[in-house]
Structure 1
Amino acid sequence: MVGDFGALNSYTVPDRYPIPRIQEALTQLSKAKYITSMDALKGFHQNVLTPKAKRLLRIITNCAIYEYLRMPFGIKNAPSHYPIMMNTIFLTELSEEWLIIYIDDIIIFSDSWSLNLERLARVLEKFAGVNINILLKKCKFGFEDKALGHFLSGLSLGINKNKVEAVLLKPIPQNKKEIMSFLRFASYYSQHLKDFTIIAKSLYRICDQQTVFEMKEEKIRSYEKINTALTEAPLLLIQDRNIPFKLYIDASGDGVGAALHQVQIIDNKPTEGPEPKSPWEVVHMDWVIALPPSGDKSYNECLLIVDRYSKTHIFLPCHKDDTAMDTALLIWNRAISHTGLFKNIISGRDPKFTSALWTNLHRLFGTKPSISTVYHPQHMG
């Protein structure tokens, strides 16, 4: 049953409830390790009407007069009344800053799984107390990296790639409604898209009521640029209020510009594997090739050995046509006899280092060989 509330709405004073800023919500979520998101079942219908409101929203038919018990759709102030109701119910939780109400999403966040469950129990208890039902298929419990259409990682913020892929699969917009839908989606992520307003300017023009819709070459290029920008959008660091800000000002004859900066030191990934505890445990070997002949024996190559612990270098002159046996004897006589046996040798994929002789020598002396991957010379020190 549907009621026509047009006359009632014309006398209703608008109750304009501000939508929370998405950036503030995401900033709160940025440090959370566990996030739970819930959606109320038919949010408008969760509002219980007062006796006076029931009388105003009566529907008169030939058979009977009906009254709504809960807020129906079509009421002017229904969209704003729902978040007001939710904020009133969860006023304590909002003040403790571990719960966010964004339009029709109720989001719980925490640093640990046990705390997330504890807070979830508090929210569900309040839902039960006011007889509010949730839509289970839209609820997500204890996820770690996605909320409000964004990807969250530590103090960084990115675009949810799943949502972008769905948009990219759609054909080029064929009417104003489709182009407006695309622009609304892109503008939601505009902070990630450099020069978004400049690129989208031509697309916004064709949405004007007085303009005939035509997707000419210029508009198609703008549309494709935005699509490309969405797929290549960078991660943005979220401000950390625990470290200082710096104000940079640039003045000129035409005006003054200012930018608020913050330096955030991101920890580097820890080095994998144990570090050597003494010199000549782990060494890197590589060739210096194509040298001009020098010395009495016309050496034209050099074997470089680098100690990982002390960064000491040993340069051993040799010849391009030396065999694996020649190289092994050179290392034994000119290096190992002074340094002692190596525990780990990191080298390239030269046939001398991958030969059967070299493999047997490693097994005999208990040395661990580490062969670098293709096109990755950094392994050789």
Structure 2
Amino acid sequence: MPAPRLIRPSTSPYGAPVLCTPKPDRSLRMCIDDRALNKQTIKNKYPIPRIDDMLDQLWGATVFSKLDLRSGYWQIQMADNSIHKTAFRTRYGSYEYLVMPFGLTNAPATFQAEMNHILRPLLDECVVVYLDDILIYSRDMKQHVEHLQRVFEILRRERFYVKLSKSKFALEKVQFLGHMVSAQGVHWDSDIAYRKGSTKIGVPNYPPLRQLLLKEYHDVLYAGHFGSNKTLTGIAKHYYWPHLTEDVQKFVTSCDTCQRIKSSKQKKAGLLQPLPVREEPWQVVSLDFITGLPPTTSGHDAILVVIDKFSQNGTLHPNTHDSTHQRNSTTLRAST
């Protein structure tokens, strides 16, 4: 359509940001960020038809044609008292739409209502409509020609224009809304149903195996117990199974350790006090243990970490998970 039929210069106080992105046919699609306007818009509750209900109507049909309306939404005129709300900003100034733009929250419902209105005499007889996609179905070719004539008469009278390059006529099999429709029935269009992604291992429905993976990624040896988000991120990088997110959340919330040490269970912290600055090393030290390690040939399966608060230097000492206080004291004295 010529631009003067679509937009005009605007002095409206409204002004949405805009950018253009390429379409597959190398034409440009104007994208306007109408989120602020949509938040203030009263939603149109007109029902969008259920795809399964529409496909059920095609039983017994053998000939199909699919029509795609050219820039469908732009064939609906804006109400005069709403034109100023569609204003958008460009480097050349502000403009406003004279036709219904893409991106408005009520655009799909408005367009569906209009198509149902003009094609109502043919609905459930030979036509199903989903937004700007029109499917015409018939039991034989002679009947199909009559149905096409009736549809085109209505579209011509109402001044709706069809994009021929995207329309298909008199086919025995046609792709419609992600399905392949033919006289043999309706089936998924595998080219559309399949979405290529990164290679992941599908985990079978075997609870012990899934619980093992959850435990491995949640009970991280050197980092404590991760929360739901980090646990999910770790598993999802390499594995997949249905309801993975729900399983991770359920596992984390049922972890006894996490529930005992989470912040809501802790006493309120007192006022923070700085540690006194020491004048020489090894007056104040920090201790920590790394446990759960595989045992060495000498029987050590833990590490005692000693940090001097003055120099921030640390020493590592082989230890065991059942080490006694006396042994640790001896190790500490030896390190100083």
Normalised to the residue count of structure 1, the TM-score between the two structures is: 0.43
* Higher normalized contact order (CA 8 Å, seq sep 6+, divided by chain length): 2
